[in-house]
Structure 1
Amino acid sequence: MDIAEALRDFLVSRRARLRPDEVGLPAHGIRRVTGLRREEVAALAALSVEHYTRLERGQASRVSDAVLDAVADALRLSPGERRYLRGLARPTDREEAGLPPDRRSGIQRVLDSMLLTPAYLVGRGGSVLAWNGLAAAVFIDFARVHPDRRTVGRLVFTDPRARRVFVNWEEKARETVSYLRGEVGTWPHDPGLAREIGELRACSAVFRRLWAEQVVQENDHANVLIACPAVGLLSLSAEALHLAGHPDKVMAVYTAAPGSGSERGLRRLARALAPGSAPSAARSAAPPSADGPAEV
């Protein structure tokens, strides 16, 4: 991942979306750029033009936190965009923290105990590491997807089932791109993440378009509408729960409003997955075939 290029593209895109009148500046003369000029951003951030230009060119190694905050204020960045900017300006080489076997077993027990809650564990770059039977029934039987393809990005953009499962697929696609942007800001030197983004850009026109838009938004909560063949439409609330001690691991948890039709649908699915009724989709799946994921 070229960090300097990513930083430049992000800053250029953020100043391009602002008009002078939106930030209290006059719009004099012929404007050859969309949005704000570099000198206008520099003035808003109380920086020299040379100082801001170096930052936009990716020369951020000696930039102070105060300067980053001033630029973020000038460009009116959201909290998620601020974290992304800081991640690009302060790249780290942290290793991925693996889960010891006992911790992984404990997390799987937690997932399995969530009888009315589809949930799965996501690692760095969107790798789906663990899930419960209800998540497999609602979304996709993860066990039947080859581990190399079992990532949020690949499932959303390259598996045709995603367009059937997520009623508002374009919204889910945008959320996924935003999530991957955040991952780049946190792990800019991760080769697996860079490879995944490169593959998605190569195979998906929608991904290329959204990636070029520099989508960065908050991803800790969302409302999703799921088309579940077994029980019909499910309106669910998604929460991202960060795993203590492992900043690169997030549990995605989906709940339905109490007493709603969606909750009744989840109860019907849970009864079907109960011992003696039907085998758990996550536990009984056949190994992935050489031809790719099997239809659910």
Structure 2
Amino acid sequence: MTIAAPEHDVHDSGEQQVRRRELAAFLRSRRERVTPEQVGLPRGPRRRTPGLRREEVAQLSAVGVTWYTWIEQARAAHVSAQVLDAVARALLMDPAERAHLFALARAADPRTEAECTVAARSAVKIVERLAPYPASLQNARYDILHANRPFAQVFGDPAELPPADRNCLWLLTTSARWQRDFLDRDEMLRDLIAKYRAGMAEHMAEPVWKQRLDRLLAVSEEFRELWERHEVAPMSPHVKRYRHPVVGLIRLEHRTMWLAPQAPAQRVVAYVPADEESEERLERLAELAGEQGTA
């Protein structure tokens, strides 16, 4: 049976065509770097192709030879995440290569571990250098990957929580301390849920995003009601009020700095005093911490 070649949409943009060509070239380059011995195939005496043949990649990834050939010829308009996952495994791609593959195809990586939850050492240094201002390192799901000492003093130390609970959305929904001390908590929760929904649109196929959502939906009727509103919101600076049990009211402006435009997306969130009184109270907290450290 003859399979007809895929027809590209006449409205395909120049960017889409460039992406298909880049994807094709990237796959060819990875295929040529993998030897038959690395994937348990015999080399054979008459092999002239560097690396693997197309039909061998198709066999290893359980993808049709014709379809894989079209991908490498930039003739496949849409490549599924399942095919990309299988091909990435067959070509022994490392995490950086895998992320690049999915980015070129504009597909969400279905692997749960696709988004890194480990804080880079350089990012940790940035967060620590922001003291006496509270600061944290977060990923796109609002998981807190690292927090400096001022953050722990104002909001509580995430390191004391189970890893699954070190998430701003979870804490705003379930933490008695955050519900008590965050004077704008209701507004913050509604805003953060809207931002999570907007961010999730780019990660619908990633199980870890759905797992986070399902956990919140299961424990909080308030969260379920807000989620059903289908509100979305962009990232933007804003001032919020916090009532600290020792130094009193602190008004902080949230400032976000993305560390990289591509996945795994991580950002430094700094909490900058919105007025002189708030700055003085943060400095007082730092002094108290110093006194406790020398006691």
Q: What is aligned with 1:187?
A: 203
Give the Cα separation in 1 of the matches to 2:157 and 2:117: 23
Q: What is aligned with 1:28?
A: none
Give the Cα separation in 1 of the matches to 2:162 and 2:293: 20
Q: What is aligned with 2:259?
A: 243
Q: What is aligned with 2:292?
A: 278
Q: Does 1:104 align with 2:114?
A: no
- Report the CA distance between 1:231 and its aligned residue: 0.8
Identity of aligned residues (%): 24
2:109 aligned residue (93, 106, 123)? 93
Q: Compute the TM-score of the two structures, normalised by the length of structure 1.
A: 0.58
2:136 aligned residue (105, 117, 120)? 120
Give the Cα separation in 2 of the matches to 1:169 and 1:257: 18
- Secondary structure, counterpart of 2:253 in structure 1: strand
**Is contact 1:227–1:233 with CA below 8 Å preserved after alignment?**
yes
Q: What is aligned with 2:270?
A: 253
1:1-296 matches, within 5 Å, as 92-93=108-109, 96=114, 98=116, 104-244=120-260, 246-247=262-263, 248-257=265-274, 260-274=276-290, 277-279=291-293
- Secondary structure, counterpart of 1:198 in structure 2: helix
In structure 2, give the amino acid aligned to 1:98. Answer: C
Give the Cα separation in 2 of the matches to 1:210 and 1:119: 27
Q: Which runs of 5+ in 2 are unaligned?
A: 1-76, 79-105
In structure 2, give the amino acid aligned to 1:224. Answer: K
In structure 1, give the amino acid aligned to 2:126. Answer: V
Give the Cα separation in 1 of the matches to 2:122 and 2:209: 27
- Secondary structure, counterpart of 1:218 in structure 2: coil
- Report the CA distance between 1:92 and its aligned residue: 2.5
User: Alpha-carbon deviations, 1:206-225, whole Å to 9, x = none?
Assistant: 11111111121122312110
Give the Cα separation in 2 of the matches to 1:105 and 1:93: 25
Q: What is aligned with 1:21?
A: none
- The structure-2 alpha-carbon separation of the partners of 1:94 and 1:242, relative to structure 1 and needing over 3 Å to count, comes to farther
The structure with the larger Rg is 2
**Is contact 1:256–1:262 with CA below 8 Å preserved after alignment?**
yes
- Secondary structure, counterpart of 2:131 in structure 1: coil
